[in-house]
Amino acid sequence: MNSHTIYWLGNDLYLNVHLQTRAKKDAIIGQHGGSLKITVTAPPIEGKANQHLIKFLAKYFNVTQSQVKIQQGLKSKNKLVLIKEPNKTSAALKNFELAFSKIIG
């Protein structure tokens, strides 16, 4: 994994994620160590939390689910997630970058 929590590689956005499952709501909470802490309501059973994370991030960044891939950490709380070619001019991405500007590499 890259040492940055959030970084661009070409037109792709990479997120180092610490995933908390069985939460009260789906949300991007903030930073946890060197990762972006994200909570999802799904349990970590049979890939449900991973699939829920993909759906949540696709909706959050206004991309298709096929554009969101878990590159590393399928069976771990710590994951490397790829957002393939998100729209750099979208309001969601601009708000995200503004909120997390201190941890974007």
Please list the rounded mean pLDDT of every run of 10 residues in the chain (105 residues): 80 96 95 92 96 96 96 97 90 80 62
- Rounded Cα distance between 39 and 62, Å, is 18
pLDDT at 102: 65
DSSP-assigned states of every residue in 65-105? GGGEEEEE-TTSSEEEEEE-S--TT-HHHHHHHHHTGGGB-
- Rounded Cα distance between 105 and 102, Å, is 8
DSSP-derived secondary structure letter, 20: E
Fold held by 6-103? Conserved Hypothetical Protein Mth637; Chain: A; (3.30.1200)
What radius of gyration, in Å, describes the C-alpha atoms of the chain?
13
Query: Residue ranges of the domains in the chain?
Result: 6-103
pLDDT at 3: 64
